[in-house]
Amino acid sequence: MYLNELSCENVYIACEMSFLKNKMSLKPDDPNYYAHLYNGFDNNRIADSKPTIRILDSTLREGEQHPGVSFTKKQRIQIAWMLDAFGVDQIEISPVVSPDHFETTKTIIKQGLKADILAHVRATKSDVDIAISCGASWIATYMGISDIHLSTKLKITREEAKIRALDVADYIKAHGLKARFTMEDASRTDPDFLIDMCKEMNNRGIERISIPDTVGIMCPKGMYNLIKTVYENIDRSKSSLDVHCHNDIGLALANSLAGCEAGAEQIHTTIDGFGERTGIPALAETAVALTLIYKSNNNLRLHMLKDLSKTISEYTDMGIPESKPIVGDSAYKHKAGTHLAAILKNPAAYEIIEPKIVGNRRKIVFGELAGKNGAGYLLSLLGLEARQNEGEILARGLKELRMGDILELYLDDRLERKILNDEAPKVKAKE
């Protein structure tokens, strides 16, 4: 890029940004300030003040489809209570999987939680009857509508699929119930057929239409285009759109957010992202993205995130990967010397949201990579004053030991206060 073009571009970006900073009411002393401006740039969903993007959690349905995951009835009820306390808008469960699931669905519906409880079933009248007999007031039905799903799974034509789907939709509505219809494998469906089906559901007053990327093939721009196509073809006062994106190449959350930028207003998640194959977006990542980046108007108890994740890992034997965003043990661990030096002055240098907001804890790691500031801090914790070049000597010693990481410390409140009050340990460089 030539200098002229670059400066033209810069003027444009600068104008947009100064407009945005007022619109988004950002504080210039927020370390994330410029990042928020870039995120809001050309992005109405972020720049418009406080959009509401809701969360449906499907841990009890999609989550149980993950190999090795099977909750007991009591565990499912506890998970539903925790999700409700956390503040998700809808909770999905399938009553048709087993008699145990049927009983659980019935019990959870009776609890009178704030979240809607959706009974998720195939698009057949007999499945809908099972959902109704659980006392469900919200019924979510799904049907694979791509050609490959129609020919290999359902073995019916598009016309037959349409008749069956509409028949079921009418049946649910005749019972006076709220409904969601899922266009399974929507991302690989002929758009003409997809739009036709969505319009039919929309005309019938089906409250929500789920547009899944069942196989995780989309990229964010593609998901944006898919949702925009549907969004522009339905009467939004009658139906809202859900996005349900699979994570086969790691794009599930990015795709879900892109879908919301195009007009969808509810994202499907599971705790820790478990689900069929590689799952769907994790609740923690979604909730933080919505709160921190999108400033979505949700009332989520983010401090429960780590506990939600721990609960699931205890009930599944699957363990939380250390590097899992937000809830993983290393999500707030700081190790390299330059990072430690900065963290010990102001943790915001390497953290976008404080660990206690999401129920996690900050840790610092001392070892080979600690550097003189980290080593100096370690000395000061041990009550030794790091004068002159002691920090440097210890740092060198730690490197020569070649034992990798030697010590990890939680920065509990007391130590955090020490950082913020003392600033960094005063390590004087050797003169």
CB of 181 to ligand HCA, least distance (A): 9
CB of 172 to Cu ion, least distance (A): 21
Query: Which CB atom, from 138 or from 377, has the smaller least distance to Cu ion?
Result: 138
Q: Using CB positions, name the residue nearest to Cu ion.
A: 62
Whose CA is closest to 138, among 173, 168, 166, 185?
173
Please list every residue from 212 through 271 that binds Cu ion, using CB under 5 A: none
Q: Which stretch binds Cu ion (CB under 5 A): 60-68, 249-257, 394-402, 413-421?
A: 60-68
Q: Which stretch binds Cu ion (CB under 5 A): 6-14, 54-62, 72-80, 368-376?
A: 54-62
Query: Could you say which of Cu ion, ligand HCA, none residue 127 binds, taking C-beta under 5 to 8 angstroms by partner kind?
Result: none
Interface ranges with ligand HCA (CB under 6 A): 62, 65, 140, 142, 182, 184, 210, 212, 214, 244, 246, 268, 276
Strand extents, DSSP E, 123-238: 138-144, 178-184, 208-213
Quote the CA–CA distance of 394 and 369 in Å, as a whole number: 11
CB of 318 to ligand HCA, least distance (A): 19
CB of 410 to Cu ion, least distance (A): 37
Neighbouring-strand partners of residue 54:
266
**Count of residues engaged in binding Cu ion, rule: CB under 5 A:** 1
Neighbouring-strand partners of residue 245:
213
Please list every residue from 76 through 95 that binds Cu ion, using CB under 5 A: none
Query: Which CB atom, from 64 or from 285, has the smaller least distance to ligand HCA?
Result: 64
Q: State both tokens at 244.
A: 């349900």
Let me know the angle formed at the C-alpha of 54 by 53 and 55, rounded to the nearest 5 degrees. Answer: 130
Query: Which CB atom, from 90 or from 360, has the smaller least distance to ligand HCA?
Result: 90
Please list every residue from 312 through 371 that binds Cu ion, using CB under 5 A: none
Distance between alpha carbon 176 and the CA centroid of its chain, in Å? Answer: 32
Query: Which CB atom, from 270 or from 298, has the smaller least distance to ligand HCA?
Result: 270
Query: Which CB atom, from 21 or from 158, has the smaller least distance to ligand HCA?
Result: 158
Query: Which CB atom, from 108 or from 252, has the smaller least distance to ligand HCA?
Result: 252
Say if residues 306 and 327 touch (Cβ distance below 8 Å).
Answer: yes
Query: Could you say which of Cu ion, ligand HCA, none residue 59 binds, taking C-beta under 5 to 8 angstroms by partner kind?
Result: none
Query: Could you say which of ligand HCA, Cu ion, none residue 266 binds, taking C-beta under 5 to 8 angstroms by partner kind?
Result: none
Q: b/e string for 336-356 if b means 16 or more Cβ within 10 A?
A: bbebbbbbbeebeeebebebe
- DSSP string over 95-117: TTS-HHHHHHHHHHHHT--SSEE
- The span from the first CA to the last CA of the chain, in angstroms, equals 45
Query: Which CB atom, from 66 or from 335, has the smaller least distance to ligand HCA?
Result: 66
Query: Which CB atom, from 248 or from 416, has the smaller least distance to ligand HCA?
Result: 248
Query: Could you say which of Cu ion, ligand HCA, none residue 142 binds, taking C-beta under 5 to 8 angstroms by partner kind?
Result: ligand HCA
220-231 and 191-203 are packed helices; what angle lies between their axes, rounded to 10 degrees? 50
- DSSP string over 21-60: HHHTT--TTSTTHHHHHHHHTT-HHHHSS----EEEE-TT
- Can you give the binding site for Cu ion, defined by CB under 5 A? 62
